[in-house]
Amino acid sequence: MNFIEALRSHPLTGKHFKKGEMILKAGDPSADGICLILDGKVVSEEATSTAKSIQKEYNKGMFFGLAALISKIRLESFVSDHDDTYIVFITESDFYKCLLADEKFLVDMLQTSLVRIQSIPSSDLTSPEEQIDLSLLFGEEGEERFKQIRNHNLEILSLIYRLRNRTALANENIFIEENLEDSDIYLLLEGSVNQYLKDPDNPNFEKQVISLQPGSLFGFLRKVGNKGHFLNARAGFEGARLIHLDSELLIKVAKLNAKLAWSIFQNVILTVAVIEQTMVRSKKY
């Protein structure tokens, strides 16, 4: 049984929806959390919108309604686009219950959230028109939420200060897209990291995509088949100190600090949303 199927037995609220039935309605309270599709298909009610590079169609194993992590009300409406769509709702308290029931829950949830991004061909990923600005994507409330998440992430220092620590010198490459062996997620502890995209027509030219601050997670945007990174990562002018977040370490985090585990999960799925809005060409998957 795969993880998506196994979620049916976890302490989560699930509900079936018929085709055309409203799942989430803009303006309603968001207290019931974010949503994960276990069966069927979901579309945004504004699926005909011409807004560029914003995900409008959601299939099995995909999250939606992520604005619940930022806002107390729903910001967008979603309807079922299948005769029998089955959704589970995930709140912070639900997440903690699942951590107690399954020590690998955090690892499996992170892997689930990355499946769609890591299945997108490199040809369908593009450089953002401008350097990513979180306040423009999510508003001031969203930017503040990301700051809170980054601060929570740094609580990892009290747990694993010396475990898999790495220091990068000023302007040192942390990874490059051709590196096939590096498959970790990184947490930035100190300094800064800049991520770049190479111009396929001019390999000597790089465009900066985003500048990361302490508490940020990165390294999970990879090419199809795990064949290298899509972006290059380089330490800033003051260098950087990092921690590798592998599966063993994430399981340890989940056992010792549930709130930190929740923060890491939020960071990853919101970052996936940023990628979908800024770096995926307008196309349905």
pLDDT tens digit sequence for 159-177: 765 556 789 999 999 998 7
Write the CB contacts of 233 (distance below 8 Å, at least 6 apart in sequence): 173, 174, 175, 186, 193, 194, 195, 196, 218, 219
Residue 73 lies in a domain: yes
Instruction: Report the alpha-carbon distance of residue 197 to residue 210 in Å, rounded.
Output: 10
Residue 134's pLDDT is: 66
Place of tokens 């309605």: 25
Question: In this structure, are 95 and 126 located in the same domain?
Answer: no
Number of domains in the chain: 2
Query: Whose CA is closest to 46, among 36, 56, 54?
Result: 56
For residue 54, give the DSSP letter: -
Query: What is the percentage of the chain residues whose pLDDT exceeds 90?
Result: 38
270 and 157 within one domain: yes
Name the one residue in this structure whose structure tokens are 């049984």. 1
By three-state DSSP, how is residue 102 classified? coil
- Here the tokens at position 234 are 């380089």
Residues 84 and 148 both lie in one domain = no
- The pTM (predicted TM-score) of the whole model is 0.83
Question: What would the two tokens of residue 117 be?
Answer: 């991004």
Tell me, yes or no, whether 116 lies in a domain. Answer: no
Q: Are residues 59 and 17 in the same domain?
A: yes
Q: Where are the alpha helices (DSSP H) in 45-202?
A: 92-101, 105-118, 134-153, 157-160
Backbone phi, then psi, for 106, in 5-degree steps? -60, -50
pLDDT tens-digit map of 194-206: 998 877 677 778 8
Which amino acid is it at 263?
S
Residues of the chain with pLDDT under 50: 47-54, 284-285
7 in Cβ contact with 38 (< 8 Å): yes
- Is residue 113 situated within a structural domain? no
Q: What is the dihedral of CA 172, 202, 133, 250, to 10 degrees?
A: -50
Query: How high is the pLDDT of residue 138?
Result: 63
Per DSSP bridges, beta strands 78-80 and 41-44 are: antiparallel
Check residue 15 and give its pLDDT. 95
* Beta bridge partner(s), residue 166: 242
CB 123 within 8 A of CB 224: no
Q: What is the pLDDT of residue 137?
A: 62
The parent domain of residue 151 ranges over 122-278
For the residues of 239-285, what is the DSSP string, one character each? EEEEEEE-HHHHHHHHHH-HHHHHHHHHHHHHHHHHHHHHTB-S---
Last residue of a domain, one of 100, 135, 154: 100
Given a contact cutoff of 8 angstroms between Cβ atoms, the answer to whether 31 and 72 are in contact is yes
Give residue-wise pLDDT tens across range 121-142.
Answer: 767 777 676 667 666 666 667 7
Which one of 37, 67, 100 terminates a domain? 100
